[in-house]
Chains A and B, each alone.
Chain A
Amino acid sequence: MKGRLLSAFAGMAAMMSSATGWAQDKLPDPAADWDHLWFEILVDLFVIGGIFAVAAAIMLIKYKAKSPDAVGNGPRLTKVQALAWAFIPATIFMADDFFLAAKGWTLWNTYRTVPENAMEIKVTGSMWNWEFEYPDGTTSTYYPDEATEADKGDGLVVPVGRAVVLRMTSTDVIHSFGMANYRVKEDLMPGRITYIWFNPKEVKNSFVTCTEFCGTNHSRMYAPVKAIAPAKFKEWLKKQADA
C-alpha cells in the first residue's frame, strides 16, 4: 500500500507537471464536490424561485378586483416589446442553463475518471443481496435477515485513503448500487458491466441500498459499507480469505 503510494509520488516527481497518478492528498473527493455544487445550485434556485414567488405574491394581492365589474388592463405589447420580453428572459434562462451544464460536466468528469491505483472490487447484485469480490479473490456478502452478525456478513469493507472502483453486474434483474454517503449510484444489469468509484477518505460506517426496483425484498436489499484504517483492512481481508 505504502509502497504503491510512494511509487506514485516518485512517478509524479519524475514526470514533473504531467501527473499520471494521484497522490493521496490530491485524490479527488466527488462527494465533497457534490455538496459544494449542490449549495451553488440551491443559491441559484432560491434566487430565481424567490424573484418569481415574490412577484406572484405581490401581483396576486395587489390586483385583487376592486369591484365585481372591473376588468384587467394589461399592457398591449408592441412588436419590439414582445420580442424583448421573449428574448431577454430566454437569454437569461439559457445563460443559467449553460453555466449549470458546465459546472455539472466538470463534476461529471470527476465522477467518471477513475484515479490510478484505485482498488478494484467486483460487485454482483442478485435478488436480494450484494456480493463483493476483492482483487485477491476474497469475497464478502451481507444477508440482513440472518440472526447473528457473523451470519449476516460484513458487507463492503474498504481501506481509508485509497480510491475504490466498483465493476458491477447483475445475475438476474436490474439493481442499482446507491451509496448516499458517498453521493454515488449506478445501475447493475445482466449483460453489461458498469462502474463507479468513490473516495473513502475517513473511517466511517454507512450503507449501500438497492435503488432500482427489483421485487418483493427490494427494500431489504442493503449492506453496510465500512471504511476502516488500512492496517485493519489488511487484517480483515486476511481473516475473510481464511474463512
Chain B
Amino acid sequence: MSASTTPAWKEWVFTTDHKRIGVMYLVGSMAAFVVAGLMALLIRVEQSSLGPTIFEDPTVVGDNYNTWLYFHGAAMILAFLIPGLTGFFANYFLPLMIGAADVAFPRINAFSVWLFFVAIILALMGFVIPDTPDIMWTGYPPYSVTTSANTAFYVFTVHLLGFSSILGAVNFLITVIYMRAPGMGWNQLNVFVWTTVAAFVIQLIFIPVLASAVTMLLFDKYLGTHFFDAAAGGDVLLYQNLFWFYSHPAVYVIFLPAMGVLIEVVAGMAKNMVFNYKACVYGGIFGITLLSGEVWVHHLYIAGMPDWIRVGQMVSTLLISVPVGLMVMSLWGTLYRSSITYNTAMLYAAACFFLVLIGGLTGIPLAMVSMTVHLSETSFVHAHFHYIMALFSTFAIFAGVYYWFPKMTGKMANEKIGKLGFLINFAGVNITFWPLFIIGLDGMPRRYWDYEMYPQFEPYHQVALYGAILIAIGMAITILNWIGSAIGGEKASDNPWGAQSLEWTDTVSPPGAGNFKHEIKIAADWTPYNYGK
C-alpha cells in the first residue's frame, strides 16, 4: 500500500500498525473523557445549590441527573480509563518497549479498536433513544430490570468492550511471551510491560463473569427470565456478586497500568533505576493480581451478605495494602539519589505521589466492614475512589501523554501551556474533592441531586463546583495544547529526555512502520533503566 494512492482516512481506519491503533484508542478514549467530563460538570452544577438548579421540575431533574450519573461512570471507567491505559498505552508502547515490530496478531488488534469505536457509538446513542439509560454504571437489578429506561444499550456496550478487551488480552500476552527482542529476559521488561501483562491476565479471567452478569440482566428484562427476581425464586444479590467479581479487579486493570506509566515517567525524568524492581514486580504486581479476585465483597459490605464473608474479605481487602505498599516503596525509592528534570510530565508524576497517598489511605477505613456501615454510599466513598481513579490514574495518563508526546508526534509539547494546565488541574481536583470527603463523613449520600435534609452541606457543594470549573478550564488547556503542539510544536529529537528504554534509544520520533531500523539484541546486563554506574 503506497501512501500516495491511499486516502489518509483509509490509512488510519484500515491500519494494522499498533502505533496508529494506539492513537485511535487515545482519540476515542479522550472523546469519551470529554463527554463524560461534561456530564460531571452538569452533576456539579445541579448539586451546587439546594433544590432544582438546572431544570425547574424535580422529576425532570431527577431523570436527567440519573442519566448523567450513568453516563459519567460508565464512560469514564469503560470507555476512558480502561481503553486509555490498556488500549492506547499498551498498543503504542508495549511493542516498542520489548523491541517487537508489531503485536502478534495485527489484524485482530485492528478488530479490537473497531469494536471499541462501535461500543462508544452505541453508548452515545443512549442519549438519542427515547428511554435514555439511568441505571448507573453498576446496573443493579431489580431497578435496571423494572425501570422503563433502556438497559440493552448498556449491556451491548459492555459486551463489545469486553470482547475487544479479551481479544486485546490474548494478543498482548502472546506478544510479550513470544516477541521480546532476542536476549530480553523477564527481569529486563519495563515495569509498564509487567503491569500491562497483569491487567490483561485480570481482564481475561474476569470479563466473562461480567459479560454473563449483564447478559442475565438482558434476559431478565427482555426475555422474561428470573435470575434476579426474588418473587420468582431468583436472587437480587447474585448480580452484585457477579458484577463486582469483575468490577473490583477492573480497578486494578486501571490502577496497575497507571502505576506502570507513572514508574516509567519517574524513572525517565528522574533518570534513575527502578528501586527494588523484583519486589515491585513479583511482590507488588503479582500480589495485586492474585488478591484481586478475593476482595469483591467490600463493595457489598452493607448489601446483606453473610457476616462471615464480610469479615473474611475485610482481612483480604486490608491485605491489598501489602502488594500496593511494595509498589509504592519502589516508586518512592526511585526518587532516592535521582536527578529530576521538572517538565510538565514530571509535574503530573510528582502530583501522583500525593494523590495515590490520599486515595490509597482513605481506602483503608473503607476496607473495614464496621467503618463502611457509616461511610458506604456517601461522598466519602465518592471522593476516595475519585482520588484513585479520576485523579491519580488520570494524572498518570496525562504524565504519560506528555512524557511520550515527542515520541508519538515528533514534536515537543508546549511546556509553558502544559504547566499552566497542570497547575489549574491540580488546584481544581483538590478543591473539588476535599469538600466531598468532609460532608461524606457527615453523611452526605452519593448520587443525590437534592439534599433537603442536609442544607448545611450547600457551601461545600458550591466549593466543589468552583473546583470542577477549574478542572474544565485545565482540561481544555491541556487538550488544546496537545492538538496545537502536535500540529505546530517544535521538532523533537529521537530521545529528548535522555531516557534508556528501547522506545527512546532505538527508534526515531515518531517510529515508522516496523518500528526499528536495525535488529535489536539485548545484552545480559541491559535494563530499561540503565542510568548511572
Residues of A within 8 A of B (CB): 34, 37-38, 41, 44-45, 48-49, 52-53, 55-56, 59-60, 63-66, 68-77, 82, 85-86, 89-90, 93-94, 96-98, 100-101, 103-105, 107-108, 110-112, 144, 172-174, 176, 178, 180-181, 183-187, 189-192, 194, 196, 207, 209-220, 222
Contacts and interface: CB of A to CB of B under 8 A. Distances in A.
B347 to A, nearest CB: 10
A66 B340 CA distance: 9
Given A189-B237, A189-B304, A93 B279 contact: no
10 contacts: A59-B332, A70-B271, A76-B273, A77-B275, A82-B279, A86-B283, A90-B322, A101-B318, A215-B62, A218-B447
Nearest to A104: B368
B59 interface: yes
Contacts of A207: 453-454
A144 B340 CA distance: 58
B447 A216 contact: no
Contact of A216 (B66, B230, B334, B448): B66
B489 interface: no
A75 B498 CA distance: 20
Contacts of A172: 142, 146
Contact of A74 (B275, B310, B362): B275
The 8 residue pairs across chains A and B that have the minimum distance between CB atoms: A191-B230, A180-B443, A72-B272, A72-B338, A219-B448, A104-B368, A86-B279, A107-B370
B118 interface: no
A213 B353 CA distance: 33
B270 interface: yes
B224 interface: no
A49 B532 CA distance: 30
Contact of B378 (A71, A77, A211): A211
B427 interface: no
B370 A34 contact: yes
B337 A72 contact: yes
B112 to A, nearest CB: 32
A52 B270 CA distance: 18
Contacts of B378: 178, 180, 211
Nearest to A42: B365
B242 interface: no
B187 to A, nearest CB: 12
Contacts of A63: 270, 335-340
B271 A72 contact: yes
B270 A222 contact: no
A98 B302 CA distance: 21
A224 to B, nearest CB: 8
B329 A218 contact: no
Contacts of B339: 63-66, 70-73
A175 to B, nearest CB: 10
Interface string B428-450: 00000000000000110111111
A72 B270 contact: yes
Nearest to A72: B272
B325 interface: yes
A82 B276 contact: yes
A213 B341 CA distance: 46
Chain B CB within 10 Å, residue with most, of A66, A75, A194: A75
A75 B337 contact: yes
Interface string B134-156: 10100010110011000000000
A93 B445 contact: no
A94 B322 contact: yes
Nearest to A88: B329
Contacts of A93: 321-322, 325
B443 A97 contact: no
Contacts of B227: none
A190 B337 contact: no
Contacts of B373: 34, 111, 183-186, 196
Contact of A60 (B273, B337, B350): B350
Given A45-B364, A112-B307, A191-B231, A53 B354 contact: yes
B230 A189 contact: yes
B238 to A, nearest CB: 11
B357 A97 contact: no
A85 B331 CA distance: 13
Nearest to A188: B304
A178 B379 CA distance: 13
Interface in B440-482: 442-443, 445-454
Given A76-B533, A183-B373, A215-B147, A209 B453 contact: yes
B376 A211 contact: yes
A174 B445 contact: no
Interface in B211-270: 230-231, 234-237, 270
B88 to A, nearest CB: 27
